[in-house]
Copies of this chain bind each other. A is one copy, B any other.
Amino acid sequence: MTRILVVDDEPQILRALRINLAARHYAVAVAEDGAAALRQAADWHPDLVVLDLGLPDMDGVDVIHGLRGWTHVPIIVLSGRAGSADKVDALDAGADDYVTKPFGVDELLARIRAVTRRTSVPDGDEPSVRVGDHVVDLTGKTISGGVRLTPTEWHLLEILARNPGKLISQRQLLHEVWGPAYSKETNYLRQYMVQLRRKLERDPAHPVHLITEPGMGYRFQP
């Protein structure tokens, strides 16, 4: 289920979007100001953010920057300002689309579909990877041999497996899985890497696929 975070300070818009999105079977969370939006995004990891630029506590463009600092989650901006400069600023800050209020709900829904389609398609090219004796199906969330992973373990493994051979910094992993507030909690990483290795590696003490790069991060080696 696609998770959408709606950020707006006008209750009627919030209400209308929540109803419409829920009717289309999206999971919806809402935030009424920029600080709450950033917190929600970090906690909940939405698949899409619908962001009103006119927030009470901070500039909408700063919210975009705050999100882009650690995630590439698609952002669709809503704004009452139709000026060209406003659009350019928001898009160049990292927004994916810009819709001028008043907007048609049908149009917004179509743009949501367009943006989610674009981001979900490239992911689907590598459905399964091999780790040791097991075959991991990233899309189906299944592993051969009766191995089961917890949600956090899946999240971690996915990030690594989608970048085979590439080093992923611990900072990036912590940001993606636990949120920006946990950049320093490397214990979490150690803990979960141990569990992943225990479940997937043939010899957990001498990992072949889930490699530690001391002081830098981790790497998935196919």
Contact = CB atoms under 8 A, between A and B. Distances in A.
Given A84-B104, A107-B84, A107-B88, A96 B114 contact: yes
A130 interface: no
Contacts of A46: none
Contacts of A113: 91-92
Interface string A142-170: 10000010110010000000000111000
Given A92-B110, A119-B118, A141 B87 contact: no
Contacts of A95: 114
Contacts of A96: 114, 118
Interface string A166-194: 11000000000000000000000000000
A111 B84 contact: no
A138 to B, nearest CB: 10
Contacts of A167: 140-142
A110 to B, nearest CB: 4
Interface residues of A, number: 42
A1 interface: no
Contact of A151 (B87, B151, B216): B216
A216 to B, nearest CB: 5
Given A85-B106, A114-B97, A213 B141 contact: yes
A70 B87 CA distance: 32
A93 to B, nearest CB: 10
A198 interface: no
Contacts of A11: none
Nearest first, the 9 closest Cβ-Cβ pairs linking A and B are A141-B167, A84-B104, A91-B110, A151-B215, A88-B110, A140-B166, A91-B114, A84-B106, A87-B107
Given A88-B110, A91-B111, 18 more contacts: A72-B118, A72-B121, A87-B110, A88-B106, A91-B113, A94-B117, A96-B114, A96-B118, A118-B118, A119-B122, A139-B166, A140-B165, A141-B166, A142-B165, A142-B166, A142-B167, A142-B219, A150-B214
